C-alpha cells in the first residue's frame, strides 16, 4: 500500500528566530495558522480520499518550528491528530518538523505521549560559521544532542539541510552530509537555497554582498549528496522545494526547479556512466537501463546524450527490465550515422 503525508503547515509562529532565508508565507503558501478544528476537519476529509485510493498517510506538521509554538496550541493540534489516527485506518502515525534547539526531554515526553512517530530537524548545516551567519540561533552540537534524544525515544529521525547559504561552500555541504551520516537518520531532505524578496539573504543579494551556488554547481553537488546518503542507507525523501506559485513570485535568486530531483538523478546517472566508459575506447555503445529510468538516462532536452557525444561516445539507450547501467559495444551500420 502506497504511503504519503497529509501535510499541515504551521507558518512562522513557533520560530524564536527569523533566519536569513526565511519567509514562511511564501514557502508554505499559507499565512494563517490552522486551528485544531481546522485540522480535524481536514483529516476527516482526507481519510475518505486515502481510503478510496487505497493509500495510507502520516499526519505531518510542517512549516514552522512545531515544538516551539505556544504549548496549549501545540497540544490541541496533537490531540486532533491523535484522534484521527485512532479513528481512521488510513493514518499510520504523526510526524513534525522543528528546530534542534526546540527539542528537550520534556518535549520528547509530550511527543511520545501523543503517538508522534517521526521528528525532522531543520539542521540546515553542520558548520557553525554558516549557522551563525544565517541567524539560525543554534549550533551543530545542538543538532547532535537533539538527534540523539529523538533516536533514544524510539521515534524516527529525519534531518533537513540546505545548500548555498550565506558563507556556505560545496565543501561545507559535503561535510554536513558526512556529519548527518554519523547521526544515522532514517530520512533526509535537501533544499537548495531559494533567495526570496524581503529576507536577509534577499537584501544581501540585492546589494551584491551574497551570491548562492549556480544551478550547475548545485546539481553537481546534490548528485554527490544523493550518493553519500543512499550509499549509507539513508532515504532522501525530498530534494528541492515543492512547486509553489508564491516561491516563483517572490524568488529573486538561488536554485529552484519543479523537477529538480529528476535533474539531479539524471546528472548522477551521466557521471556514473562517464566513469564506466572512461576505460573504454571512444565509439558506439548500447546502454541498457530499465524503461522507468530511460528519461533520466537521456536527460532533459537530451542533455546527457549531447554530453556523452562531446566526450566521444555515441550512445543508444535501450530498455531492459531490472537493469540500471549495462554497457555493450555496438558496431555502427555502414552508410548510416548513429543516432543519439
Nine cell digits for residue 117: 512517530
Asked if residues 111 and 91 have their Cβ atoms less than 8 Å apart, the reply is no
pLDDT at 339: 41
Asked if residues 284 and 332 have their Cβ atoms less than 8 Å apart, the reply is yes
User: Judging by DSSP bridges, how do beta strands 156-163 and 116-124 pair with one another?
Assistant: parallel
- Which among 107, 149, 142, 108 has a CA at the least distance from the CA of 125? 142
CATH assignment of 3-258, given 3.40.250.10, 3.20.20.70, 3.40.50.300, 3.30.465.10?
A: 3.20.20.70
Asked if residues 186 and 234 have their Cβ atoms less than 8 Å apart, the reply is yes
Report d(CA 211, CA 194) in Å as an integer.
Answer: 11
Query: Tens of pLDDT along 138-171?
Result: 999 999 999 999 999 999 999 999 999 999 999 9
Asked if residues 204 and 210 have their Cβ atoms less than 8 Å apart, the reply is yes
Report d(CA 52, CA 40) in Å as an integer.
Answer: 19
Question: Where are the domain boundaries for CATH 3.20.20.70 in the chain?
Answer: 3-258
pTM of the model: 0.90
Report d(CA 83, CA 114) in Å as an integer.
Answer: 9
Band (33; pLDDT cuts 50, 70, 90): confident
Q: What is the mean pLDDT of residues 29-34?
A: 68
Report d(CA 285, CA 299) in Å as an integer.
Answer: 17
Length of the chain: 340
Amino acid at each position: 500500500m502506497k504511503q504519503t503525508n497529509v501535510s499541515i503547515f504551521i507558518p512562522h509562529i513557533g520560530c524564536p528566530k527569523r533566519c536569513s532565508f526565511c519567509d514562511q508565507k511564501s514557502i508554505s503558501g499559507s499565512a494563517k495558522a490552522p486551528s485544531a478544528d481546522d485540522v480535524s476537519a481536514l483529516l476527516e476529509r482526507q481519510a475518505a480520499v486515502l481510503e478510496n485510493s487505497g493509500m495510507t498517510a502520516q499526519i505531518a506538521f510542517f512549516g514552522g518550528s512545531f515544538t516551539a509554538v505556544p504549548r496549549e496550541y501545540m497540544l490541541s493540534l496533537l490531540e486532533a491528530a491523535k484522534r484521527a489516527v485512532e479513528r481512521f485506518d488510513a493514518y499510520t502515525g504523526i510526524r513534525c518538523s522543528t528546530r534542534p534547539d526546540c527539542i528537550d526531554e520534556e518535549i520528547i515526553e509530550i511527543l511520545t505521549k501523543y503517538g508522534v512517530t517521526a521528528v525532522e530537524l531543520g539542521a540546515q548545516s553542520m558548520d557553525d560559521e554558516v549557522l551563525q551567519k544565517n541567524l539560525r540561533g543554534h549550533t551543530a552540537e545542538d543538532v547532535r544532542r537533539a538527534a540523539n534524544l529523538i533516536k533514544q525515544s524510539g521515534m524516527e529521525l529525519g534531518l533537513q539541510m540546505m545548500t548555498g547559504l550565506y558563507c556556505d561552500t560545496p565543501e561545507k555541504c559535503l561535510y554536513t552530509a558526512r556529519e548527518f551520516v554519523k547521526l544515522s537518520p532514517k530520512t533526509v531532505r535537501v533544499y537548495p537555497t531559494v533567495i526570496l524578496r524581503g529576507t536577509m539573504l534577499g537584501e544581501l543579494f540585492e546589494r551584491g554582498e551574497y551570491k548562492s551556488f549556480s544551478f550547475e554547481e548545485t546539481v553537481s553537488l546534490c548528485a554527490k549528496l544523493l550518493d553519500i546518503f543512499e550509499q549509507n542507507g539513508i532515504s532522501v525523501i525530498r530534494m528541492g522545494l515543492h512547486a509553489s506559485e508564491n516561491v516563483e513570485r517572490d524568488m529573486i535568486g538561488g536554485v529552484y526547479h519543479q523537477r529538480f530531483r529528476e535533474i539531479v538523478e539524471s546528472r548522477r546517472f551521466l557521471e556514473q556512466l562517464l566513469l564506466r566508459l572512461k576505460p573504454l575506447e571512444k565509439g558506439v555503445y548500447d546502454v541498457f537501463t530499465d524503461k522507468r529510468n530511460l528519461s533520466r538516462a537521456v536527460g532533459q532536452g537530451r542533455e546527457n546524450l549531447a554530453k556523452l557525444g562531446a566526450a566521444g561516445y555515441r550512445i543508444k539507450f535501450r530498455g531492459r527490465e531490472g537493469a540500471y547501467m549495462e554497457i555493450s559495444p555496438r558496431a555502427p551500420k555502414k552508410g548510416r550515422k548513429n543516432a543519439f
